[in-house]
Amino acid sequence: MATQAAKRATVYLDPELHKALRLKAVETSLSVSKLVNDAVREALAEDAEDIAAFAQRAAEPTISYDEMIKRLKRDGRI
């Protein structure tokens, strides 16, 4: 993958979240931008995993809420 120049974006953060992010940047010797990029990348990767899991399970039969409750009771989970 070729390296591209970073794009600038304005993001408005909760003041306490911003403070925590700045403190983490200082303690880890990483920039706020690096921390935000890493967090967004991780969140998108988790979304991709969820989408793949949904696709794999698409052919599974659907059961009703009532049936799920009955199964949970039968199996002693509730």
Pick the residue with more confidence: 24 or 61? 24
Answer yes or no: are the C-beta atoms of 43 and 32 closer than 8 Å: no
Q: What is the pLDDT of residues 21-33, one digit of tens each?
A: 999 999 999 999 9
Domain residues of the chain, as ranges?
Answer: 15-74
Q: What is the pLDDT of residues 1-18, one digit of tens each?
A: 567 899 999 999 999 999
Residue 37: name the closest of 3, 8, 2, 1 by CA: 8
CB atoms within 10 A of CB 13: 13
**Global pTM value:** 0.65
Whole-number pLDDT of residue 3: 75
